Structure 1
Amino acid sequence: MKGFLTAAVASLAVSQVSGHYIFQQLTTGGTKHPVWKYIRQNTNYNSPVTDLSSNDLRCNEGGASGRNTETIEVRAGDSFTFTLDTPVYHQGPVSVYLSKAPGSAADYDGSGPWFKIKDWGPTFGGGGAQWTLSGSYTANLPVCIPNGEYLLRIQNIGIHNPYPAALPQFYISCAQIRVTGGGNTNPSPTALIPGAFKATDPGYTANIYNNFNSYIVPGPSVFSCGSNGGGIEAPPASTTLATSTRPATQPTNAPAPGCTNPVAKWGQCGGNGFSGSTCCAAGSTCNAINQYYSQCV
C-alpha cells in the first residue's frame, strides 16, 4: 500500500508539471541567466493560483521571500525577457508589473503598490480573437522610474475554461532587480495585490467562446514613459497564435479500454508534441483547448 501511495503521489506530481508552465528564467543585457537565479522559485510546481484574495497572487506560492534569490542590476529603459519551461498555451492576457521595495528586494513581500508596464492582449479579426502564445516575453523598463530595488512580476491569466464553471488561472513569477540610471517620476496608477483583480472584472469573467469581440485586460492601466511603450502589444508575425474558437471535445468520459495511466482532472491529455497519456480519469473528459494543449476537465 505504501508503494502504491508513493507511486500515486509521483504520478500526480508529474501530471501537475506536464500540465502547466512557469516563467523561470530571466534575460538582461543580452545574457540569459540560469533558471531561478534572479526569479523567486515557487513551491507549487507549475500549478496556477486561482484565489483572488490570496497573497500568492503577488509572486506565486512560496514567493513571499526572496532571500534565496539574487538581485540583478538593470538600467532604466533596458529590455528584459522572461522565458518559460513550456510555451504559454492557455489563452489569456500576459502582463508585466513592477513594485518598488522599501529596501532590499530580497526582503520585500510585495505588499506595497504595483504598477503595470506591459500588456499582451488579444487582437480581433476573422471572426475570432488571437492571443500571443510564446515561450518568452520581452519588454523594456520605463526610463523615468526612480532608482532602487524592485520586484519585476509577470503573469498570464488563463481564461480558457469559461467562468464561473471554472476559475481563471494565474501563472506568476517575480524577478528581483536593482534599477540604475532612472528618473524621478512616481508611476501611476497603482494597485495592491491582492485587490487589483476582481471577480466582476470583464477581463476576468470573459467567455472567449461566446460573442467574444472585445476585451479589457484586468488590473490597472499601463504606465509608460520613454522606451517601454506601454499599451497592448499585438502578436508579432513570428509568434504562435491561438484563436478563440470553441475547441472540439475528445469523448473520453472514462478511461479508455486498456488505459493503464489515466490523467487526473486538470492534467494535460494531448496536444502537438505531447507524449503522455491521452485518457482521463473517470468523471473527466479530455478537452482540446488548442492544437498545443488538451486538458482533462
Structure 2
Amino acid sequence: MREVFALAALMLAVTDVSAHYIFQQLGVGSVKNPVFKYIRQNSNYNSPVTDLASNDLRCNVGANGAATETLAVKAGDTFTFYLDTPVYHQGPVSLYMSKAPGAVSQYDGSGGWFKINEWGPSFSGGQGTWPLAGQYTYSIPSCLSDGEYLLRIESIGIHNPWPAGLPQFYVSCAQIKLTGGGSANPPTVKIPGVFKNTDPGYTANIYTNFNSYTVPGPAVWKCGDANGGEEATPTEPEPTTLITSTISATPEVETPTCATSKYGQCGGIGFSGCSYCADGSTCFKQNDYYSQCV
C-alpha cells in the first residue's frame, strides 16, 4: 500500500510539472534548429522561477553556457523562439539581450541587459486579450555592435494574482555571435534587480478592473533611441499559432496537485518530486542540487 501511495504522489508531481512550458528551440530565418542546440538547457524541466532576487531569472535554473553551442547571426536577421507547449498563462512576453565581455559560453549574464521587444495585452470592451503563442518571432536590431550576446525570452504568468500568488517567470537564453552590425551600445539594466514586487505589471490583477497594463522591466530599446546609432524600422512580426486569451471574471487559479511539507525537499538537479510547498511555507533554493520548503 505504501508503494501505491508513493507512485500516486509521483504521478501527480509529474502531471503538475508538465502543465507548464519551456522555450527550447531557436530558429533563424527559415531554419529551425534542434532542441537546446543553441539554447541553454535548464535543470528544472518546465517549472517557473518566482524569486525576484535569484540569478536564475537570467537564463533559468541550471542553464549551462559551456554545454551550449553559439549560433552565428547577422544584424537584422529574423529569429524565432519555439516552445514545447504554447504559452497559455496570461501575461506578457519580452525579449532581452546582454553583450558578453568575451565568449558568451562563459558568460553568466551578470552584465547589463536591454529589452528589444515586448508583447503585452490589447484591450477592447473592457477586456484584455493576450498574444499567447507557440512561437515568437522578431529581428536582431541592425545597429547593434558586433560581438557575442545572450538572447533571452521571458514569459511572465500573472494568472494567480499577487500577493496570494506569485508571478511565474518562464525564461530561456540563446547564445549568438553577431556580425554585420553598427556601433550602438544600448543603456542597460541588471537581472536580477530590474523587477520589483511593487511594479504595476507584477502586482496587476487581471480579473478586477483590468483596463491597462505596463509590462515589467525597462522600456523597449530600438535603433534610433539613446545610444541607438542609425535609425532602423524593422517590421515586427506577430506571434504565429496565436491563441487568443480573453480574461473572464473568474480567476484561473492554478491549484497544486501535491504539496511538500515544511522542511521537505522541493527542487534541485535530478529532483523529480513535488515542487509545491504546503501552505505557510515556500520553496527556497539552497544550491543547484537542493531546494527546501521553509
* Equivalent-residue separation in structure 1 for 2:161 and 2:216 (angstroms): 16
Q: Report the secondary structure of 1:19's partner residue.
A: coil
* Letter in structure 2 aligned against 1:247: T
Mark the CA change 1:227 to 1:77 in structure 2 (over 3 Å): closer, same or farther. farther
TM-score computed with the length of structure 1 as normaliser: 0.79
* Equivalent-residue separation in structure 2 for 1:5 and 1:40 (angstroms): 35
Mark the CA change 1:55 to 1:12 in structure 2 (over 3 Å): closer, same or farther. farther
* Equivalent-residue separation in structure 2 for 1:192 and 1:9 (angstroms): 39
Residue matched to 2:100: 101
Residue matched to 2:203: 205
Mark the CA change 1:56 to 1:236 in structure 2 (over 3 Å): closer, same or farther. closer
Please state how far the C-alpha of 1:153 moved relative to its aligned partner. 0.2
Deviations 1:215-272 (A, max 9, x none): 1100000011224567xx8x6796211112223789xx9xxxxxxxx9336xxxxxxx
Q: Do the aligned partners of 1:141 and 1:227 also contact (CA within 8 Å) in 2?
A: no
For residues 130-279 of structure 1, what are the structure 2 equivalents within 5 Å? Answer: 130-188=129-187, 190-225=188-223, 226-228=232-234, 239-247=242-250, 263-264=257-258
* Equivalent-residue separation in structure 1 for 2:68 and 2:179 (angstroms): 19
Residue matched to 2:270: none
Deviations 1:124-178 (A, max 9, x none): 1022001001000001110011111000000000000111000100000000000
Mark the CA change 1:8 to 1:102 in structure 2 (over 3 Å): closer, same or farther. farther
* Equivalent-residue separation in structure 2 for 1:248 and 1:177 (angstroms): 39
For residues 83-94 of structure 1, what are the structure 2 equivalents within 5 Å? Answer: 83-94=82-93
Deviations 1:28-54 (A, max 9, x none): 131100000000011111010000000
Please state how far the C-alpha of 1:15 moved relative to its aligned partner. 1.9
* Letter in structure 2 aligned against 1:217: V
Say yes or no: does 1:111 pair with 2:105: no
* Letter in structure 2 aligned against 1:91: Q
Q: Flag structure 1 segments of 5+ consecutive residues without an equivalent.
A: 254-261, 266-282, 285-297
Mark the CA change 1:2 to 1:38 in structure 2 (over 3 Å): closer, same or farther. farther
Identity of aligned residues (%): 61
* Equivalent-residue separation in structure 2 for 1:206 and 1:16 (angstroms): 25
Q: Do the aligned partners of 1:105 and 1:149 also contact (CA within 8 Å) in 2?
A: yes
Residue matched to 1:127: 126
Please state how far the C-alpha of 1:18 moved relative to its aligned partner. 1.9
Deviates more, 1:13-22 or 1:33-42: 13-22
Measured on the aligned residues, the alpha-carbon RMSD in Å equals: 2.7
Residue matched to 2:55: 55
Please state how far the C-alpha of 1:10 moved relative to its aligned partner. 3.7
* Equivalent-residue separation in structure 2 for 1:71 and 1:25 (angstroms): 13
Please state how far the C-alpha of 1:92 moved relative to its aligned partner. 0.3
TM-score computed with the length of structure 2 as normaliser: 0.80
Mark the CA change 1:50 to 1:143 in structure 2 (over 3 Å): closer, same or farther. same
Q: Do the aligned partners of 1:203 and 1:215 also contact (CA within 8 Å) in 2?
A: yes
Q: Do the aligned partners of 1:140 and 1:227 also contact (CA within 8 Å) in 2?
A: no
Residue matched to 1:70: 69
* Equivalent-residue separation in structure 1 for 2:244 and 2:196 (angstroms): 27
* Equivalent-residue separation in structure 2 for 1:152 and 1:186 (angstroms): 15
* Equivalent-residue separation in structure 2 for 1:14 and 1:184 (angstroms): 48
Residue matched to 1:280: none
Deviations 1:267-297 (A, max 9, x none): xxxxxxxxxxxxxxxx99xxxxxxxxxxxxx
* Letter in structure 2 aligned against 1:202: P
Please state how far the C-alpha of 1:199 moved relative to its aligned partner. 0.6
Q: Do the aligned partners of 2:49 and 2:60 also contact (CA within 8 Å) in 1?
A: yes
Q: Do the aligned partners of 1:117 and 1:228 also contact (CA within 8 Å) in 2?
A: no
* Letter in structure 2 aligned against 1:68: A
Q: Do the aligned partners of 2:115 and 2:218 also contact (CA within 8 Å) in 1?
A: yes
Deviations 1:32-84 (A, max 9, x none): 00000000011111010000000000000002x31010000111111100000
Total equivalences in the alignment: 254
Q: Do the aligned partners of 2:75 and 2:141 also contact (CA within 8 Å) in 1?
A: yes
Q: Report the secondary structure of 2:190's partner residue.
A: coil
